[in-house]
Amino acid sequence: MEAVFKMGASRIASAVNAGELSAKEVVTAYLERIAELNGKLNAYLHVNSTGARRAASSVDDLVVRGEKLSLAGVPVAVKDVISVRGLPITCGSRVLRGYVAPYDATVVNRLKRAGAIVLGTTNTDEFAMGSSTENSAYGASRNPWAEDRVPGGSSGGSAVAVSGGMATAALGTDTGGSVRLPACFTGLFGLKPSYGALSRYGLVSYANSLEQVGVFARSVDDLALVYSAMLGADPKDGTTTNFSWSIRDALSRGVEGLRLGVVVEMSGEGIHEAVSSALSTTCKELERNGVSVGEASIKHMGYSLEAYYLIAMSEASSNLARFDGVRYGEHPAFEGDWNEEYSRVRSLFGLEVKRRIILGAFALSAGYQEMYYGRASRFRTLLIHEFREAFKQFDVLIAPTSPTPPFRFGEKTQDPLTMYLSDVDTVPVNLAGLPALNVPVGTFTTDGTTLPLGVQLIAPYGRDDLLFTVASQLERSGLSSARVVEPWGRIV
């Protein structure tokens, strides 16, 4: 049998259900892998060794009794902004040091009921604010493809865990690209679902109207398996809904007759040559399989980044007000002046979080709210309308996930605006609430270093199944694949 850490979720679940492999053996292999590599890659902030072994024993007992679990023994990682009962949840921040989650998020609970085992919680930019994990209070995660390159953010730890073979699949959150960008930078499939497809109950909110829990995996089949286990409306989250399609059916459908639109505003000037080439190669491959390809235009997309950051920072300013040392956050003695103690707690936030709180508070302040937040909200409505018009001509849109390959550590930290531009191709999807999927499509070599490339597929709201149909075709054709990567860059 192949090394356990190289096996996919489907293979592990099948082997455990059949009694060929025990969940205990799976967990032991992964915990050994984490112990070996996490010191180099800093993917996990908290490793759930005792809890994972206990959960594995429970899964093995259920299998012995004849129960068939869709994710039996499948080891998963969870971003450190999603509650896992009994594990610390710090959101990559000093503010929440020592806080332990008192309950499971709905998505975590559904994974556990399907037989998945949570190995631990993963590194993130503080409160999910960033594009490189360099904003984590606990040090950046390292991209297993190259020691000097960022893994993307804010869900960089989850991406590194899957890419490095320290988890079979992982949960992240995508507020403006924070699943798709790390998936692109580490060579994985990374899904941002339709808004409302997955429950946000148990997620520490950054920007409620934009963020969604997403999934990382090394194959489309694994992605579908994990996503399916979490789907469905949740009475604890009024924004959730049910969809009528089946992802398993979507995987077996062909792509012949589908209409693919290349978003011209995302694929022109400023795109790295290697990214542009990968996009072109992907379109040609789909054309060979019966897909018609044309140009799609989202006329006002150029204003998306500005509108996104106004909305996201405004919502962040409101959401993070709760971290005051009384309700949440480090509890000071409060022996002195209230304002001084409150300021001391708030000073624990990192620079990027402070920047977004201040800008968000300004955008919502009297006299400026309509000028900034109001106009951004109206633009959002316009963008949704333009996407709807594009989907009258095309079934699926395609664009780069990132305009560039993975960048170096420190390359953008001194210029926040340059860092924000990393999200220029991903934020429109979040503003419109659409589903999108990063698909790994080859590599690019520079200065002797091989780096992964990706493109994103975008579907109409509620048609996540179309993403799986197209991605599955690309995987079957051999153009798209993801592998376990050893530090630094050796594909296993």
CA 107 – CA 103 distance, rounded (Å): 12
CA 375 – CA 300 distance, rounded (Å): 14
DSSP lists the bridge partners of residue 47 as 120
Peptide bond into 488 cis (omega under 30): yes
Based on its alpha-carbon atoms, the radius of gyration of the chain, rounded to whole angstroms, reads: 21
DSSP lists the bridge partners of residue 436 as 192, 458
Contact indicator for 250, 465 with CB cutoff of 8 Å = yes
Contacts 24+ apart (CB under 8 A), 251-256: 251/220, 251/221, 251/224, 251/468, 251/469, 251/472, 253/469, 254/289, 254/290, 254/469, 254/473, 255/286, 255/289, 255/290, 255/291, 255/469, 255/470, 255/473, 256/289, 256/290, 256/291
Alpha helix stretches (DSSP H) within 71-179: 106-113, 156-163
Contact indicator for 201, 105 with CB cutoff of 8 Å = yes
How would you class 15 by CB atoms within 10 Å of its CB: exposed for 0-12, middle for 13-18, buried for 19 or more?
buried
Tell me which residues are annotated as active site: 79, 154, 178
Indicate if the alpha-carbon torsion angle 334, 340, 343, 344 is positive or negative: negative
CA 480 – CA 105 distance, rounded (Å): 32
